[in-house]
Amino acid sequence: MKLATKIEAILYIKGKPLSLEEITTHLDCDREMAEDALIELMNDYAHRDSALEIVETPTGYSLQLKSVYENLLKELIPAEIGTGALRTLAAIALKNPILQTELIDLRGSSAYQQVAELVQLGFIRKRPQADGRSYWLEVTDKFHQYFEIDQLTTF
C-alpha cells in the first residue's frame, strides 16, 4: 500500500486537520517520506475530478469538501434548530403570516433572536409592514420542503 494512500485513509478516519508530526506518528515513518507522500496526495487530488481536496490549514492537513460544494452541504445536512426557535417557527407557521409584534407578545423577547436565526436558516422571511413599524413573518418554501408539509390549515 502506498504511503499517500495511507495518509488519505488517516485524514479520512480522523476527520480533522492533522499536523505533519501527527501524520508521521500514525505512519511510523520519517518526516521527509511523509512530506513527499503528502505532496503526491495533494497533487493527485488537484488533478482529479473530485469533490474533495487536501488542504493545509493553520492546524494541519485536512481532507475536506471543496468550497464550491458548500451549497450542497447546506441543503443536505439538516439545520440544527433549538427548541425555542422550533416553537417560534411553529407559532409563525400556524398564524402564517404573523406580525413580529404579535409574535413577541406570544413568545416573549427571546423570539427576536430566534426570528433572526430562522431567517438566516431560510425557514421564514420578513417583510416590512406597509402601514406600521413591525414586520410580517411568513414561512418559506424551504420550511415546507424541510418539514414535508404541503399546506397548514388553521383551526
Where among 72, 89, 112 does a domain terminate?
A: 72
| Cα–Cα distance for residue pair 45/61, rounded to 1 Å | 13
Tens digit of pLDDT per residue, the chain (155 long)? 799 999 999 998 888 889 999 999 999 889 999 999 999 999 999 999 988 999 998 989 999 888 888 777 767 666 678 888 989 999 999 899 999 999 999 898 989 999 999 999 999 999 999 888 999 999 998 888 887 766 555 44
Q: Report the domain count for the chain.
A: 2
- Domain of 24 in residue numbering reads as 3-72
| Cα–Cα distance for residue pair 140/142, rounded to 1 Å | 5
The verdict on pTM exceeding 0.75 is no
| Cα–Cα distance for residue pair 108/52, rounded to 1 Å | 44
SS3 120: helix
Do residues 137 and 86 share a domain?
A: yes
Question: In this structure, is residue 151 part of a structural domain?
Answer: no
Q: What is the CATH number of the domain that holds 97?
A: 1.10.10.10
